[in-house]
A and B are shown apart, each in its own frame.
Chain A
Amino acid sequence: MKPIIAVEGLGKRYRLGGQTHNSLRDAVASIVRAPLKRFRSSSSPKTLWALKDVSFEVAPGEVVGIIGRNGAGKSTLLKILSQITRPTTGRVALNGRVGSLLEVGTGFHSELTGRENVFLNGAILGMTRAEIQRKFDEIVSFAETEQFLDTPVKHYSSGMTVRLAFAVAAHLEPEILIIDEVLTIGDVEFQKKCLGKMDEVTRAGRTVLFVSHDLNSVNAICERALLLHEGQIVKSGVTADVTRYYLDHSNSMFSPITWSTRPDAEAKEIQLNSISAWQNGMATSAINCREPFTIHVDYVINDPVRGSRFYLVFRDEHGEIIFTTSDYDVMTSEAMTRRPGRFISRVEIPGGLLKEGAYYASLGVDVRDNPKLVFAADDALHFDVFEPEDDIQAGRHKRAGGIAPLLNWEISEISLGK
């Protein structure tokens, strides 16, 4: 059978810093400097291959999962497939209409009503007006937002917006449906409904590319999966095999830096192997904000070290420090000596503490008696915290402040009211 998606030698290069002119002055200045630039070969711009030599094919009706950690190239691949950006190398053949759900609610405007947004969003996704009109009732009842149809979307809860947006996209009926991370939003009931809808979509013979952090849902709906790592396909095949491979190698895949090769002389006493985030017994970079999760630091002590301290600094996506923690929290003496050997330090971060969003953890080790910093790895770990529920507590993510802890309020009655 002829593949519906054929990808050949696909690559995407991004320039890092420099080069892109954001103001005319820079552009003019670089034209002036251009003749000189040719002689300075070393000043070539830094580039990053977000995707490199990716080739695969998908048969009509297949449901293929794409997994990999953050920055593995999943989003870049989807952006190329949905024609948002052009590849640097290679080509793609698509034999059917592509509907992409790269981020649900794209094009939703908060001032417009639910009804207006359905039509606008449908048109943006490539539906004709007649098509939207025909499916309108179905979309609205799927999203369960009938009574709010003529209310501006700005008054919707985030869950309602997502439901409506997903409903529009799910009724697009493209031959190829690209879905990215939608199922991590919305409440559990709705997630089930979405999975059901996707099942229906695939039974109707449509092809689905499904990208997720959530290995369980990938396992549940995809027959086949691709594992991307550093822009390349490292494993592809039956979903169960690929996810197992992913879990087996997650330690190395979740650590962006392999520290054992660090030639730093000061790091001789302590060598860090990896850092990873774990939740519910799985290494993951998608953290459910309601549940506790653990940061694992894997390291080797070569020589006895006295008075050393491990610390983690958590920053949000804007680089603001959210909190810092150190293993002195559990030590009795600052001068404790660490024995040689290989260790894993685990620190549990309680559930119901962090706001939803992207986080970066930096790891450092310092020694009390030696003011020289032994080790520091900035932004060594990246993870995303998401909100799985659509209840009253989900509103806390909008509160002021760096964290949004769920605290125990005790309300007691002092005297009887009338």
Chain B
Amino acid sequence: MKTTESHTNLTASASASPNPEISPNSDPFADAKILIDSHDSALGLHIRELWSFRELLLFLTWRDIKLRYKQTALGATWVIIQPLFAMLLFTLFFGKLARMPSDNVPYPLFAYAGLVPWTFFSNAITNSGHSLVGNANLISKVYFPRIYIPAGAVGAGILDFAIAALLLVPMLFYYKVALTWQLLLMPMFAGLATALALAVGMWLAALNVKYRDIRYAIPFLVQLWLFASPVIYPASLVPAKWKWVLAINPMTGVIEGFRSSVLGTPLDAATILTSVVVTLIILIFSFVAFRRVEDSFADVV
């Protein structure tokens, strides 16, 4: 909501009020704390409001984590099972049968290091994509910055991400891969993955409110995106001439960067930089897009 608006037709509102205590000289709209206006022309980003509700993000994240672990029999085990089984399958079909190159890293380790950020990303966009529709009763009953709903769904995935990443430690020992200083960059790539998941998830969530087809489109999108990202194959497989095409997909930078920081393989600065820029563009785009439609969620959800 906008903060100030000076011009007002006072006589209309004052005459409608039978309360004598209100003097018609004070303009209630001049410096209202909250102003709800039918035309919200200025596309304010309401940072202050987001800040005042900041704890809600933690609570929603915590709720999503709690519910998932309460409602599943295997709980945290799923977090490992998902990338682990994908790794086993990929190793069998792509590593052993198709003899996919893996930048001189044992294929299982190569695949798992890519699957950890990928699994986080795909789950995060799926969960946040469904989050607004899944919380319809909340949206139609209480006001709070709606952005925290898809953000909480992404946030809940971070714990899974960390647990799945821990399994890399015994794997690195097993394959005798030495850790390098590059490991310090890992949180940065995890952060990039989170930012991208938030950007995509937020946008999908907003679209899903209006177009319920998105529900069917998300699994399809996730599947296509997996093959468009260097999870199964290394980015080095793509001819240098076409490398930029791969780099436009910001997951390329996330996966390659995450993998390099863990395995100590060379980092490709150009690809990573491209991914950072693309992620920021998508993030800004979907933040603005989300704010534009946020007010109508309660009417359509």
Residues on A with beta carbons closer than 8 Å to the beta carbon of B300:
20
Query: Quick check: which of B34-42, B93-101, B266-274 contacts chain A, the rest being far away?
Result: B34-42
Contact A9 B28 (CB under 8 A): no
Asked if B243 is at the interface of the complex by the 8 Å CB criterion, the answer is no
- The closest CB in chain A to the CB of B16 belongs to A55
Contact B71 A59 (CB under 8 A): no
Given the interface pairs A56-B16, A94-B32, the reply to whether A129 lies near B38 with Cβ below 8 Å is: no
Query: Quick check: which of B62-70, B165-173, B181-189, B230-238 contacts chain A, the rest being far away?
Result: B62-70
Q: B34: which of A11, A58, A98, A112 is its contact (CB, 8 Å)?
A: A98
Asked if B43 is at the interface of the complex by the 8 Å CB criterion, the answer is no
Query: Quick check: which of A103-111, A156-164, A312-320, A364-372 contacts chain B, the rest being far away?
Result: A103-111
Q: B144: which of A93, A124, A129, A237 is its contact (CB, 8 Å)?
A: A124
Query: Quick check: which of B79-87, B118-126, B291-299 contacts chain A, the rest being far away?
Result: B291-299
Asked if A24 is at the interface of the complex by the 8 Å CB criterion, the answer is yes
Given the interface pairs A83-B143, A96-B33, the reply to whether A57 lies near B17 with Cβ below 8 Å is: yes
Contact A2 B26 (CB under 8 A): yes
Given the interface pairs A86-B295, A124-B144, the reply to whether A233 lies near B16 with Cβ below 8 Å is: yes
- Kindly state the separation between the CA atoms of A98 and B1 in the bound complex, as whole angstroms: 13
Residues on A with beta carbons closer than 8 Å to the beta carbon of B35:
91-94
What 0/1 readout, one digit per residue, does chain B (1-26) give for beta carbons within 8 Å of chain A?
A: 10001001100111011110111001
Asked if B137 is at the interface of the complex by the 8 Å CB criterion, the answer is yes
Asked if A384 is at the interface of the complex by the 8 Å CB criterion, the answer is no
- The closest CB in chain A to the CB of B24 belongs to A57
- The closest CB in chain B to the CB of A14 belongs to B299
- Kindly state the separation between the CA atoms of A91 and B28 in the bound complex, as whole angstroms: 11
Candidate in A87, A91, A106 with the most chain B CB atoms within 10 angstroms: A91
Question: What interface size band does chain B fall in?
Answer: 35 or more
> What's the dominant secondary structure at chain A's contact region?
mixed
Residues on A with beta carbons closer than 8 Å to the beta carbon of B36:
80-81, 83, 86-87, 91-94
Nearest Cβ distance between residue B250 and chain A, in whole angstroms? 24
Nearest Cβ distance between residue B298 and chain A, in whole angstroms? 5
Give chain B interface residues in 190-239, CB to chain A under 8 Å. 210-214
Give chain A interface residues in 86-139, CB to chain B under 8 Å. 86-96, 98, 100, 102-103, 106-107, 109, 111-112, 116, 119-120, 123-126, 128-129
Contact A8 B296 (CB under 8 A): no
Given the interface pairs A56-B16, A224-B18, A224-B19, the reply to whether A119 lies near B59 with Cβ below 8 Å is: yes
- The closest CB in chain B to the CB of A104 belongs to B141
- Kindly state the separation between the CA atoms of A339 and B47 in the bound complex, as whole angstroms: 72
Q: B142: which of A92, A95, A102 is its contact (CB, 8 Å)?
A: A102
Nearest Cβ distance between residue A99 and chain B, in whole angstroms? 10
Nearest Cβ distance between residue A208 and chain B, in whole angstroms? 15
Contact B56 A83 (CB under 8 A): no
Given the interface pairs A1-B23, A111-B67, the reply to whether A86 lies near B16 with Cβ below 8 Å is: no
User: Can you list the 6 inter-chain pairs with the closest CB atoms, starting with the nearest?
Assistant: A93-B32, A6-B28, A83-B143, A106-B141, A123-B59, A86-B295
Q: Which B residues form the contact surface with A (CB < 8 A)?
A: 1, 5, 8-9, 12-14, 16-19, 21-23, 26, 28-29, 32-38, 40, 52-53, 55-56, 59-60, 63, 66-67, 70-71, 137-144, 210-214, 295-296, 298-300
10 contacts between A and B (CB under 8 A): A1-B23, A21-B210, A23-B211, A84-B142, A84-B298, A88-B38, A93-B36, A94-B34, A129-B59, A224-B18
Known: A2-B26, A93-B29, A106-B141. 20 other contacts (CB 8 A): A8-B9, A20-B300, A27-B211, A55-B16, A56-B13, A57-B16, A83-B34, A84-B141, A84-B298, A86-B295, A86-B296, A89-B38, A93-B35, A94-B33, A102-B142, A107-B141, A120-B63, A123-B59, A236-B18, A237-B18
